[in-house]
A and B are shown apart, each in its own frame.
Chain A
Amino acid sequence: MRVKNIQIINFRNLKSTKIIPGVNFNLFYGLNGHGKTNILEAIFLLGSPKSFRNAKQQELVMHDEKRAVVKGEIESQRVTSKITLTLEQAGRRVEIDGKMVGRASELHGKLNSVVFSPYDTGMVRNSPDSRRRYLDRAVYMADIRYLNCWHNYHRILKQRNHLLKKSETSSLDTWTDRLATAGAEVMERRLSFVSNLDKRLKNHYSVISDEDKAAEIAYQPEGIKKTMGHEIKEEFIELLDRNRKNDEKFGSTSIGPHRDDVFFLLDGRPLKTFGSQGEQKSFVLALKMAELEYLEDIFGETPLFLLDDMSSELDTARICNLFAALSAKNMQVFITATEKRAEFADSVHLNYSVFRICDGNPTYEEN
């Protein structure tokens, strides 16, 4: 998958910007606050229903403007299509080749991108909530059916919690049963995704960090031991029944995929407490590489890789290892950094374009 050109209008601090990126590596460099990450965000939004910065819609539109527009020509499966994204107060509109798209899911798989940004390294130390958000987004990218069962689960959860608050119990068993069915589907899909990622993780970690530690990602739904959908359902119902008294007391469902956590382990020990900062960064980067490779297997095409704030996140050795790994793939990469450093270009064996960003305006530089 590739972005052939992109036009960004009234998007955050980008008034009107047009970029024709190179087919492989693209570096956006410039001072902080000049809009480098905004360009990455706009590229990401062409293929995704939500920003990787968890931004609200109105934050994306330039101050005092009615709407932001992002237009891009993308190439996927040897077909070039034009995507136009309009962001307004009322919501977002997507057109593919001039035709309005009704549902966000129709955009699914058109332009996959894997992002590595400071927001991602934060998730190792943050609350389970941020890891869950990562997991949900990543599973959705790989598995479009996940969206539907995730929405179902949360709708049923809302209904059940409302019932628990009112302590009316005549239909509670029914809602518990429905919650278990939908929850089991969410857990099953997460389990299969995480095991696919885990298979690939160890190798990527050693390539990036030059260390021989065993990196592991594990998802074990709380209180659940089984891995098959219908068996999970039975276990989950029992679990919900056991917690019923407690849930009635607090008026909400205390256990289930909406409360689960994903575990990151290094040599069997929790990364959060035992990993150094450098190890945590390498781990998340390896996780992203595993995700990239998994998406590549599913879609038969390499996604884009968006590397935000490279210099602050990674040291030179790791960057060179990463670039070498990405160079082997003949894929499109977008990088932001505060300065242009020669050694990075040396580790790239492919086409390398450099843009200097100043006040939201990119200038192409010959290299």
Chain B
Amino acid sequence: MLTNISSLSRLVSEFKKLPGVGERTALRMAFHLLKSPSNLTMLSEALLEVRDRTHSCSVCFALTEDDPCSICSGNRDHKAICVVENPQDMMAMERSNAWHGVYHVLEGSLSPLAGTGPEDIRIDELLKRVSSGNVEEVVIATNFTVEGEATALFLTKLLRQHKVRISRLAHGIPLGSDIEFVDAATVQWALQGRNEI
């Protein structure tokens, strides 16, 4: 039946490309939108607007509508850069309200299997920012995955050639959790990275 309505079928196919969306959810979303034409108009406008207005910041590669982004042009500590893999990670850091420096979004991590080498992510741009001389500290906040750790190590080796303080985000026991329920691997990390008080 769906194949007879080619425009609807096209919409469902597009929805299905989205992460976490299967045939049933795609159909449900399509029919929900069809219930009211204004829904369709608003969604299509929103899609076009986000396409036309967002781009990455020319300084830190964060997602922004202005250039440079509000953080790069704002009243932040420009001597400290926090390096993250993608804009979502940066938003998570911002939610914490704990970072007063600026950011650098790598737009990925080193992964030969995925065909991502050092030249495919924003490493050169980071080094340029650091070598401009005003940067005193770089915090590496890549993910604690095999790829994120390799990226962190790669960056550390390059940054050592510059006069900056380099640090890695701490990892260990999540806030608000009982130690007894934390898995052995995490407890081991937490012990290795313990702080003197």
Contacts and interface: CB of A to CB of B under 8 A. Distances in A.
A238 B110 CA distance: 23
Contacts of A178: 146, 149-150, 153
B110 A174 contact: yes
Interface string A164-178: 001010110111011
Nearest to A166: B112
* Pairs A-B, 7 closest by C-beta atoms: A162-B112, A163-B112, A174-B154, A155-B146, A159-B112, A148-B185, A162-B113
A248 to B, nearest CB: 13
Contacts of B146: 152, 155-156, 159, 178
Interface in B144-174: 146-147, 149-150, 153-154, 157
A153 to B, nearest CB: 9
Nearest to A159: B112
Nearest to B116: A171
B2 interface: no
B65 to A, nearest CB: 34
Interface residues of A, number: 21
A349 interface: no
Interface string A129-169: 00000000000000011001000100110111011001010
Contact of B113 (A158, A170, A173): A158
A186 to B, nearest CB: 14
Categorize the interface residue count of chain B: 10 to 19
Interface in A222-244: none
30 contacts: A105-B183, A145-B184, A145-B185, A145-B188, A152-B146, A156-B146, A156-B150, A158-B113, A159-B146, A159-B147, A160-B112, A162-B112, A162-B113, A163-B112, A166-B112, A168-B112, A170-B119, A171-B110, A171-B154, A173-B157, A174-B110, A174-B150, A174-B153, A174-B157, A175-B110, A175-B112, A175-B150, A178-B146, A178-B149, A178-B150
B117 interface: yes
Interface of A: 105, 144-145, 148, 152, 155-156, 158-160, 162-163, 166, 168, 170-171, 173-175, 177-178
Interface SS of chain A: helix
Interface of B: 110-113, 117-119, 146-147, 149-150, 153-154, 157, 183-185, 188
Given A152-B146, A156-B146, A159-B147, A177 B153 contact: yes
A174 B160 CA distance: 14
Nearest to B151: A174
A105 B185 CA distance: 12
Contacts of A162: 112-113
B184 A171 contact: no
A171 B117 contact: yes
B20 to A, nearest CB: 18
B140 to A, nearest CB: 13
A165 to B, nearest CB: 9
